[in-house]
Amino acid sequence: MNKIQEIAIADIDTKDEVFMFRVQKALKGIRANIDKIGLLSAVILRPHPTKKGRYQIIAGHRRINALMALEKTTVPALVRHDLESDEDALKVSISENEHRKGYSAIERGRIILTARSQGVKVKDIAEWFNVSRKQIERLQKLASMNPAIQAALDRGEISPDHAYKLHELSQSHEIDIDGWIRRVKEESLSAPKMAKLLFSEFAEHEDVEVFQKKGGKYRLRPISIDTKGMDEEKKNRIEQLLQELDTLVNAT
């Protein structure tokens, strides 16, 4: 039977981050709580799979780091000798941390990347989180994006929708990602508003296709047409074309 025991922190591989998926925020709060009332829940460890005599952290990275900051030498831990496979260890890590506090989208994305690298099937991961396979692919994409986008997600400065759009557009255009993240935060821009402003910026510097064709579908880009300075014939022609397009779209 697994029992809680005091484990020397020196025997734990504290640099091992295989099962660390949460952003490591400042330890001031958790350190103060532990210093005042002690550690209320034991961390979970397993014998390290590749380092004899050492332990690997399954859940409790921040708590151990806080104890180290307080110059503590031991930690109450549940040592799971039964977690011989990485997949079993991952399941326990997810369950323990999800129980303490739900994972954010980017954290789930990192878990999915780790699980996929261990050979876990998409359908099994989808069952862990009770989401569709399509959602699994979208979450995984978050954890593969530009580091600046991931960091902004971690800080809560942008939403996953902002992240997907910034990532998508940065694949085909040169974008000041840090600058747009600041604008989203300072101007409280929604993802659609941000995208519209980005397209407007692109239009000022290059010829932007009005639509993209994928298979039998056409995707129209959000555009604005400034008719100031145009002669009447050109204005009328633009209006006629837009009316024809509107008629065709509504007829399908």
- Asked if 185 and 162 sit in the same domain, the reply is yes
Out of 71, 102, 133, a domain closes at 102
- Asked if 18 and 96 sit in the same domain, the reply is yes
- In the chain, the amino acid numbered 6 is E
Q: In this predicted model, what pLDDT tens digit does every residue of 185-206 receive, in sequence order?
A: 999 999 999 998 988 887 665 5
- Asked if 89 and 58 sit in the same domain, the reply is yes
Q: Residue 24: what pLDDT?
A: 59
Out of 90, 113, 144, a domain closes at 144
Q: How far apart are CA 62 and CA 116, in angstroms?
A: 25
- Asked if 93 and 132 sit in the same domain, the reply is no
Q: Check if the beta carbon of residue 173 is closer than 8 Å to that of residue 194.
A: no
Host domain of residue 157: 152-208
The low-confidence residues of the chain, meaning pLDDT below 70, are 1-2, 23-27, 99-101, 203-214, 220-224, 251-252
- Asked if 173 and 194 sit in the same domain, the reply is yes
- Asked if 240 and 184 sit in the same domain, the reply is no
- Asked if 130 and 203 sit in the same domain, the reply is no
Number of domains in the chain: 4
Out of 92, 124, 144, a domain closes at 144
- Asked if 47 and 124 sit in the same domain, the reply is no
Q: Record the pTM.
A: 0.58
**Cα–Cα separations (whole angstroms), residue 8 to 53, 72, 81, 120, 237:** 11, 9, 17, 32, 79
Give the list of residues 6+ apart from residue 146 with CB closer than 8 angstroms, or none.
Answer: 166, 167, 170, 177
CATH of the domain at 7: 3.90.1530.10
Where does residue 156 fall: left (phi above 0), alpha (psi -120 to 50 degrees), or beta otherwise? left
- Asked if 126 and 158 sit in the same domain, the reply is no
**Which two structure tokens, joined as six digits, stand for 184?**
């989203």
H/E element holding 68? helix 61-69
Q: Residue 172: what pLDDT?
A: 80
- Asked if 88 and 108 sit in the same domain, the reply is no
- Asked if 92 and 14 sit in the same domain, the reply is yes
Q: In this predicted model, what pLDDT tens digit does every residue of 135-171 receive, in sequence order?
A: 998 898 998 899 999 989 888 899 999 999 999 888 8
Q: Residue 128: what pLDDT?
A: 81
**Cα–Cα separations (whole angstroms), residue 135 to 132, 147, 218:** 5, 21, 24
Q: Residue 117: what pLDDT?
A: 86
**How many Å separate Cα 52 from the centre of its chain?**
34
**Which two structure tokens, joined as six digits, stand for 77?**
């831990």
- Asked if 95 and 111 sit in the same domain, the reply is no
Q: How far apart are CA 58 and CA 91, in angstroms?
A: 10
